[in-house]
A and B are shown apart, each in its own frame.
Chain A
Amino acid sequence: MAYRVLITDDSPAMRAFVRRVIELSGFELSHCFEAGDGEEALELLRREWVDAILTDINMPGVDGEEFLRRLAADEMLRSIPTIVISTDATENLISRLMSLGARGYVTKPFRPETLRSELERILGVPVD
């Protein structure tokens, strides 16, 4: 099965990198959407269904924390599993974001296989 994934990050370079490492890792991707902040991501999610969301935290406009809050408040969107990707590994922040509904947390820097295993875990993909 191939999956539809949304990458939310204000850095085009980071979005391109995340997309590239997902593909390099061998994760089965059918479509990869991109958004520059939480607002753009929410607009996209009103038009397109995705299986998983990867989001940065520190973004201008609607940041990752507010994005998670709005996802949780939306009956249609709250079930989409979300992974936070951030350089900020502060325990307080991680637990706050998990309590807002994030299912996973990947700290930068990370290896491609780390991102793949987190994606597979939150999607319940059987391990080979």
Chain B
Amino acid sequence: MTDTANHQALHGAVVEVLEKMFFIDAGDEAGDAPVSDTALTDLGVFVQVAFHGDPPGVFHMSLARDVATRIAADFLGLDADSVTAEQVNDVAKELANMICGAVLSRLESRATLRLSTPDLVDGDAAVLPGTVCAVETGSGILTARIAMEKRECSPTAKSAS
């Protein structure tokens, strides 16, 4: 799987999930330089979803807490002022889970994959290798990353796919 294909899948999945489930029109990418996760460490929400199968890997999503709060408010149909921290974290985990599932569907690699339960992680864990996509949500930037283990391409595996 090329990095370009992964990037297109990542961007398409973020846009699809935000549009269908959060009623957010988020077509634009936020440029080549995504927001630094280090800068967000104290004020950010970071979610990680591991997936197991062929190939296994890790999906990671980060966004500033105020952006996560506004997205949670959209999802729940509430005012941003009335959304609790627990609701923000809960919605962020759902968002990451849906984006990860949508990415893997686009990469047609779901046949043997299982997603783990999304976990909130420290910002430092966000510094992962892999494909990165930063999308402008209208409230701020959402950064998504996916890292998949390299597959050995044997003739047997190729003929079976």
Q: B-contacting residues of A (Cβ < 8 Å)?
A: 11-14, 16-17, 20, 58, 87-92, 107-111
A12:B90 contact, CB within 8 angstroms: yes
Cα distance A99–B98 in the bound complex, in angstroms: 25
Q: Which residue of B lies closest to A58 (CB)?
A: B117
Cα distance A89–B106 in the bound complex, in angstroms: 11
Query: Which residues of chain A are within 8 angstroms of B98 by Cβ–Cβ distance?
Result: 87, 108-109
Query: Which residues of chain B are within 8 angstroms of A87 by Cβ–Cβ distance?
Result: 97-98, 100-102, 115
B17:A109 contact, CB within 8 angstroms: yes
Shortest distance from the beta carbon of A28 to any chain B beta carbon, whole Å: 19
Q: Which residue of A lies closest to B21 (CB)?
A: A109
B110:A90 contact, CB within 8 angstroms: yes
B16:A109 contact, CB within 8 angstroms: yes
- The segment from B70-78, B127-135, B141-149 that touches chain A is B70-78
B119 at the binding interface (Cβ < 8 Å): no
A17:B75 contact, CB within 8 angstroms: yes
Prevailing SS type, chain B contact patch: helix
| A interface footprint on B92-121 (CB within 8 Å = 1, 0 otherwise) | 011001101110010000111111010000
Query: Which residues of chain A are within 8 angstroms of B113 by Cβ–Cβ distance?
Result: 90
State which residues 9-25 of B face A: CB under 8 Å. 16-17, 19-21
B40 at the binding interface (Cβ < 8 Å): no
Besides the contacts A87-B101, A90-B113, what 5 more A-B pairs have beta carbons closer than 8 Å?
A87-B97, A87-B115, A89-B101, A90-B110, A108-B97
B87 at the binding interface (Cβ < 8 Å): yes
Q: Which residue of A lies closest to B77 (CB)?
A: A20
Given the interface contacts A89-B110, A109-B102, A111-B20, does A13 sit within 8 Å of B117 by beta carbon?
no
B90:A20 contact, CB within 8 angstroms: no
A13:B87 contact, CB within 8 angstroms: yes
Cα distance A12–B91 in the bound complex, in angstroms: 9
Closest 4 CB pairs between A and B?
A87-B101, A109-B20, A13-B90, A109-B21
Shortest distance from the beta carbon of B68 to any chain A beta carbon, whole Å: 12
A110:B20 contact, CB within 8 angstroms: yes
B102:A90 contact, CB within 8 angstroms: no
Question: Which among B19, B21, B76, B87 is the interface contact of A108 at CB below 8 angstroms?
Answer: B21
Query: Which residues of chain A are within 8 angstroms of B117 by Cβ–Cβ distance?
Result: 58
Given the interface contacts A11-B90, A108-B21, A109-B98, does A16 sit within 8 Å of B76 by beta carbon?
yes
